[in-house]
Amino acid sequence: MSEQIYLSSPDVTEAEEEAVLRAIRSGWVAPLGPEVDAFEAELADFCGREHAVALSSGTAALHLGLLILGVGPGDLVATSTMTFAATANAITYTGAEPLFVDCDETGNLDPALLDKAFGEVAGSVRRIAAVVPVDLFGKVADHPAIAAVADAHGVPVLSDAAESLGAVRDGLSSAAYGLAAAVSFNGNKVMTTSGGGALLTDDAGIAERARYLATQARQPVVHYEHTDIGYNYRLSNILAALGRAQLARLPEMIERRRGHRLAYRELFAGVPGVTVFGEPSGADGPGGGTRDNFWLTSVLVEPAVAGFAAEDLRLALAADNIEARPLWKPMHLQPVFAGVRSVLNGTSERLFEVGLSLPSGSALTELEVGRVHSAIGSFLEVRRAAV
């Protein structure tokens, strides 16, 4: 059996090794240090934000962001149902309840349905305390339209940009939208610090409050004094050094993933019933004002036309030890969130049924790319012969 090819493996080079070694030899192996300070400054500059707070995960960034926006027990938080569980989990950490809103054809939160959600809650004893749009698979949501709805109801937006670092919409970084934005450096993202994340904002008060809460809410006195419940959410100096090296390589890694997207488009061109999810951004030139970060390339398979289902293709790739996964199972279908209020149009359920993400990592070798394409080509040949 050939070695496993994963969906999105970390892309680590000598540059990252040297950065980690530099941090260790400096003696700063604690959660704070010069690498953290430099990483925060470089990340904020990359994203076009005034402030970045480096944290232990993207989930921690969402949690702190919601707390700082005043979300608490009894509140509702409107968010996309088409997302990873971390978004909804962070909402529940605050004692609030998610209000799931379905997506449009891009997979991102539908602004019209968001407006409908506000209408359905109006007049009840509960309030929507925040809106958390999610940039699905690195494609930036329609933040201007979402902000217009949220602003009309006087509700702040916390952007979940965990999947979209490096993506842009109308020339703005994905992390530049919302009162604050959360990004992730988990091991399967385009860039990683193994685990990690950050909260980005232009509001100095939000950044200061996030650092305070993330450091066990310790008061600035010589002894240990606490007046609030805090969290152990800060990123270590060693991981920040890793993040700096990864951030410097982020454009290069995005371009490699973009190459995979374009190659998949060519591979599936002319295959009836199969489309590459995320078009047309995959074909945008480098100077385009709206591009996703190509975190994952997925295909949508209409079985009645293609003659096979996405699951058939997944099983064929698994037989060759190649990982592929369905799109996120919508949160309103998850047993843990059964009975949670939702505003739906059926789009997320359809995307979950027909969608399949393919190996997309920038660390894929030419040999691995060849194996993936060969496996897909063989699968398609067998299906054509069976027609």
Positions marked active-site: 189
The token pair at 60 is: 């921690």
CA gap 169, 321 in Å, rounded: 36
Query: Nearest 5 degrees, angle CA 278-CA 156-CA 207?
Result: 95
CA gap 61, 41 in Å, rounded: 17
- Size of the chain, expressed as the number of residues it contains: 387
Read off the amino acid at residue 287.
Answer: G
Contact 296, 138 (CB under 8 A): yes
> Sign of torsion, CA 66 68 72 77?
negative
299: DSSP letter? E
The token pair at 314 is: 């997944």
Beta bridge partners of 180: 158, 201
CA gap 312, 276 in Å, rounded: 17
4: DSSP letter? P
Interstrand relation of 158-160 and 180-184 (parallel, antiparallel or unpaired): parallel
Read off the amino acid at residue 343.
Answer: V
CA gap 220, 29 in Å, rounded: 22
Question: 356 vs 80, 257, 300, 308, CA distance in Å?
Answer: 19, 16, 7, 13
CA gap 138, 281 in Å, rounded: 11
State the residue for tokens 């592929």. Answer: 324
